[in-house]
Structure 1
Amino acid sequence: MAGFRPRVPAPTDIAMIAHPSVTLLFDLSDGADLAHDAGGRYGRGSVAVGLLPGDFRASGQVGEVLQIRLEPVAAAALLGEQANLRGEAVSLQDVWGRDAAQAEERLRAAGSWDERFAAARNILLRRMTGPTRLDTRPPVDREVAHAWRRTLGSRGRVRVGSLADEVGWSRKRLSARFRSQLGIAPKRAARLVRFDHAAHLLAAGRTAVGVATESGYADQPHLHREIREFTGLTPAAVATAPWLAIDDVAWPASPPPTSKPQRH
């Protein structure tokens, strides 16, 4: 989780770097001031962002914002059928209904970021275990959960065929179930995880040639092509991307001038 507070009341325009998680953004301003654009689809207020949202940007006269990243398997348990966002950005109200407004009010009323983080944990736990739990939703197969976590643990360097052998499924069945439940094909998930590892190394100050070697890319041009596809940016631009500022590994030397992040 991370909290953002504007340093000065000025318009904000920031691009979200692709990350192997489902992201919740709670707009805690007085009104629905957080504007978001995902591939030309516009919205305002709190939003749930699926894997690989494309060119996702947050902008507007933004007040305080709480960001929560969810492992896709955990997001399926928390969001039910809405977890499979397939790279889309969906209003949190469309996902949670009236519970979204109640969550915003509770988070907005908290006296500090620590209190907000604690409140957010309780909100998520209640969604997963309380009466609002969506018991009719299809669970994520254990095989799919295993394949995702192996992909994450290997930093995207495990082959789909190997994953299929590990879970005792055919490659075709694993790919179909993985895509239907997590909204992304396993091969593309591996590319996303590998890109995320490379982006963090770049943000930590590593050279592009060193990052390409350590992350398993064929060469530096291969790294450049992947970064361009996932972000439309150069490796140098990714290294200083403000959205990475919420990560311990990728904390920049100087925080973005328009926001003051608090992490948890």
Structure 2
Amino acid sequence: MISRDFNTLALEVNGKLLNNEFATAVFSGVAIDSRVVRGEQLFVAIEGENDDGHRYIGNVVQKNCAGLLVNNNFTGTDEFKNRVAMVAVDDSHRAMITLAQNYRDESDTKLIAVTGSNGKTTTKEIIYSFIRNKTNKTYRSPGNYNNLFGLPLAIFDMPSDTEYAVFELGISVAGEMRQLARIAQPEVVLMTNIGPTHLETLGSMENVAEEKFSLADAIGPEKIVILNADDPTLMQAAARRKRDFVTYGFGQSADYMAKKAGISTSGFPQITIDGKTIEIKLFGEHQVYNVLAAYATCR
């Protein structure tokens, strides 16, 4: 978990510490929701489209949070700066992203990023469970913390000695994935599928695929990118790129292939991988793809 003193925080995010008496005070962890902030955490007040975190600063100060990251235009600095550590910046959300990038830079964690229109969360959890059988120093992003607000929070909560981490990354507008890639800095990318999601902002499934592929485009050619070979939109986008991919699938030739093996006596789907039949104790035939994707990633 991230921990900093407030003098270091101000330097990292190009901000101003408003009371030097708090220079050596330390926070551990970050929150942007005033309802869940804990005493040792930094509260980042973000001005959003529908609400403004600066409105709740009085509440978080009453909860004895470790300190505040606020915008320069916050009008209540004089009221609170002598009660709690406070760093002011031009844009608190952008400063939070910078802080997350810096914390990720300090880590030697091998990070696996999972993206796709469907199956991200379940596949992430399966990968996590596979790896955790090998090492306890494994972490996964909580819930669907997968955007430019949730991903930094998930990064902040990652223990500093984590060996493997699994994160899901989600997008809704063009350009978002490249920003997520700069924060996560993945060693391995898994793309599950492309479906008709976010068409109101991205226009077509081909555009969705291109936005997802910007994650692969943002990492070096020595990094691993894993694709669902049975998804034609994914594979068409892959064909436009000059890099190697690892593939998995049931219907098409792939590096990791499996066969559907019907339904078990318990009513769960089964697949055969590398000559072994596996019962998938998750409901829904689509879960066979999630398990195969996780298998290919962990191999």
Q: Determine if the TM-score, normalized by the shorter chain, exceeds 0.5.
A: no
TM-score between both structures, scaled by the size of structure 2: 0.23
- Higher gyration radius (CA): 2
Instruction: Answer 1 or 2: which has greater strand percent.
Output: 2
Task: Tell me: higher relative CO, structure 1 or 2? Use CA pairs within 8 A at least 6 residues apart.
Answer: 1
TM-score between both structures, scaled by the size of structure 1: 0.25
